[in-house]
Structure 1
Amino acid sequence: MPRNSSDPADAPTSAPEGVGVQFLTVPDELAGQRIDNFLQARLKGVPRSRIYRILRKGEVRVNKGRVKAEYRLKGGDVVRVPPIRVSEAPEKPVAGEQLRRVLESAILFDEGGLLVVNKPAGLAVHGGSGVRLGLIEALRQMYPQSPFMELVHRLDRDTSGAILVARKRSVLLHVQAELRAGRMGKSYLALASGKWPRSQKLVEAPLRKNTLKSGERIVVVDGEGKPSRTRFQVLERFPAGTLVAAEPITGRTHQIRVHAQFVGCPLAGDPKYTPDEVNSAFRELGLKRLFLHSAEVRCTLPDGRAVSVAAPLPEELEVVLQGLRGA
């Protein structure tokens, strides 16, 4: 049975008053991106089904020719975008001057299409789930000249330190491939409660995400979880805890935190995996946050250049260590 001609799915795409055909030149940073994803990013509010339809009908042209949705763009391609009504997007939150100043001073490396940022604790890496503005949204506002800006990996909101951000798609794909292959290095500093066992240099415990009745999401050690491995090295011992270096071999959510808990030495200041009485004792020493810091990241750029960037320990964590040494 034919559809009614008034079906909105058959309606021609139309533009708000004053908006017509657009011709967009693809920057080199976006080379390799699929045309459907390129359009989705620029036609906010337009259903993906509509984007596939205008591609199928040939209303979108690349260098004057028809292309399929899986076509991968090249730098310099000229994309014809037909008039199409875009629903009004909600007003985006704006990064304030204080946050901009903090992030400007936190840039540790900016070369070859790769940013390394010393993320402050308390800042989410991206918006969502009640967070209006995250690190990546703030960076996109700070670098309006960069058409591409994506997280290479993530850090928990309460974790500080070095995080990689790609300013070129080719860099993102290259470094993420290194990450999957285990060639990218990440070193953390963590304060574990109690006495870390001398023999516990490698923790191999499968991890599974779990949702409690309250709706809180936690990670647990479970035989049916994903294989997870973390190397630990004791750096300094105190009566109340142990400063350790942690290198995650796999990249599971909350991996270092849960593996430390599994050993019996949960991280100081961890509100999710450490008992309240343990955290209370560390609060008396001045610790007001999770003691977990991304201290160093190592990778290579697509041209083969090796990159190694260290992020200094925040002053509020250094003060805690000084207090432990004087105890």
Structure 2
Amino acid sequence: MSGVQQLEVPEHDAGQRLDRWFKRLFPHIAHGKVEKLLRTGQLRVDGKRAKGSFRLEAGQTVRIPPLPDPSEVKAKASQRNQNKLVEWVLYEDDDLVAINKPAGLAVQGGSKTTQHIDGMLPEGHRLVHRLDRDTSGVLLIAKSAAATKWAGRAFQSRRAEKVYWGVTNGVPRPLSGEIAGYMAKGELDNRFGNIHMGKEVMMAVRHGTQNAKHARTLYQAVATAGAKAAFVVMMPLTGRTHQLRLHMQILGAPLAGDPKYMTDRPLPGGLDKTLHLHARSLSIPRDGKPHLTITAPLPAHMTKAFALFGFDEADPEVNWDELV
């Protein structure tokens, strides 16, 4: 913890907001903490209380109260992250940890993503596979390089079986089967009026299209609510980006709340505008041991949808071999 500091505002910082000036000098202090320092009068200008929007002038003196050093803040943040991960744990052994990833939390970082699962992991832990930011459910993490290697091979060889649950806007036709085809990156158009141009999506394309990849999904609508919605169970046989989301759209019933793969059909009333896609279970082979199968309970927004439409949360019996 530092002591009290009295910092003079240099000429090149004149005109800056107090809160932004402070944040630039002390980026490890959270915004909420800065607001508290201002509210309680610990952060002052020329001995007087000031609001965050106060415009500084050259030569003014800003009182900086005692602050924790960056390493201390980082340690506390790391502990908070690990506490969150513990809350989400579904399974753990000497090699693996499986968590129930919340919808809306990215798995890895990007240019505009600062909070993500990868950044929350303890040292030595590694992601085995990925889920979309808006998809909830089973996410597997390895505790060592060796565990990452053998678990990763299971995914690459398609010996790891993933089952997803979704609630669709409309009912897929046919109600069950296999959907397969080629897909490649493209951009959203403005067909439905409420889509922003230029957003990257996956699109169905012909074989031979540049960068096209083949995708296969088995699916079954195990329950429907008239023509409004369906409870669909899906097993991807390949692991393409947004594969399930695109395939449900192609079948005429995109996943409810999907902001990219849409329809001109209104979202049924009462549903949250959150992607209704959940990685329900994961089964992975282990050398000399029975397959490990992990199941994740539904998130709140999908539990609400199931109650609204009268869908049963018990795992349905699906004969995947018959759908191939």
Q: TM-score, normalised by structure 2?
A: 0.65
After superposition, residues 152-167 of structure 1 pair within 5 angstroms as 152-167=128-143
Which residue does the alignment assign to 1:232?
Answer: 219
Equivalent position of 1:323 in the other structure: 308
**Which residue of 1 is the match for residue 202 of structure 2?**
219
Q: Which residue of 2 aligns with 1:119?
A: 101
Counterpart for residue 237 of structure 2: 249
| 1:26 aligned residue | none
Q: Is the Cα–Cα contact under 8 Å of residues 129 and 140 in structure 2 kept in the other structure?
A: yes
Q: 1:236 to 1:95 in 2, by over 3 A?
A: farther
**What's the offset of the Cα at 1:97?**
7.2
Asked if 1:201 is matched to 2:177, the reply is yes
Unaligned runs of 5+ in 2: 1-72, 190-196, 312-324
Which amino acid in 2 is paired with 1:107?
A: V
1:153 is displaced (CA, Å) by 0.7
Change (3 A) 1:164 1:244: same
Sort the Cα spacing of 1:221 and 1:95 in 2 relative to 1 into closer, same or farther, 3 A. Answer: farther
Q: Does 1:263 align with 2:248?
A: no
Cα deviation code 1:247-293 (max 9, x no counterpart) = 10000000000011111111110000113653xx33x3132300000
Q: Which residue of 103, 118, 136 corresponds with 1:136?
A: 118
Q: Give the conservation status (yes or no) of the 8 Å contact 1:184–1:297.
A: yes
| Secondary structure at the counterpart of residue 205 of structure 1 | strand
Change (3 A) 1:162 1:251: same
Secondary structure of the corresponding residue to residue 228 of structure 1: strand
1:93 and 1:250 map into 2 onto residues whose CA distance is 39
Give yes or no for the alignment of 1:308 onto 2:290.
no
In structure 2, relative to structure 1, the CA distance for the partners of 1:96 and 1:289 (3 Å cut) is farther
Contact 1:187 1:297 in 2 (8 A): yes
Structure 1 unmatched runs, 5+ = 1-90, 141-146
The code of the aligned residue for 2:270 comes to L
Find the aligned partners of 2:230 and 2:288 in 1 and give their Cα distance. 40
Q: Deviations over 1:105-124 (max 9, x none)?
A: 21011113111110000100
Find the residue that maps to 1:187 and give its secondary structure: strand
TM-superposed CA distance for 1:295, in Å, is: 0.3
Deviation at 1:242, TM superposition (A): 0.8
Q: What does the per-residue CA deviation read over 1:24-67, in whole Å, with 9 as the maximum and x for residues that have no partner?
A: xxxxxxxxxxxxxxxxxxxxxxxxxxxxxxxxxxxxxxxxxxxx
Measured in 2, the distance between the counterparts of 1:92 and 1:215 equals 37
* Whole-angstrom distance in 1 between the partners of 2:153 and 2:127: 14
For residues 52-106 of structure 1, give each alpha carbon's deviation from its aligned partner in whole angstroms, at most 9, with x where no partner exists: xxxxxxxxxxxxxxxxxxxxxxxxxxxxxxxxxxxxxxx9797477755443221
Do 2:256 and 2:273's aligned partners in 1 also have CA atoms closer than 8 Å? no
Identical counterparts, % of pairs:
31
* Aligned position for 2:158: 182
Distance 1:134 1:262, change over 3 A: same
Residues 1:94 and 1:153: Cα distance change in structure 2 (over 3 Å): farther
Q: What is the TM-score of this pair, normalised by structure 1?
A: 0.64
Taking a change above 3 Å as real, the CA distance of residues 262 and 286 of structure 1, as seen in their structure-2 partners, is closer
CA contact (8 A) 2:173 2:252 kept: no
1:325 is displaced (CA, Å) by: 2.4
Contact 1:171 1:301 in 2 (8 A): no
Q: Deviations over 1:230-251 (max 9, x none)?
A: 0001211112111010110000
> Aligned equivalents of 2:278 and 2:75: distance in 1?
27
CA distance in 1, matches of 2:112, 2:286: 34
Post-superposition offset of 1:300: 2.2
Which whole-Å deviations, capped at 9, do the CAs of 1:135-190 have from their partners, x for residues lacking one?
Answer: 121122xxxxxx42111110000000001111111221112211121110100000
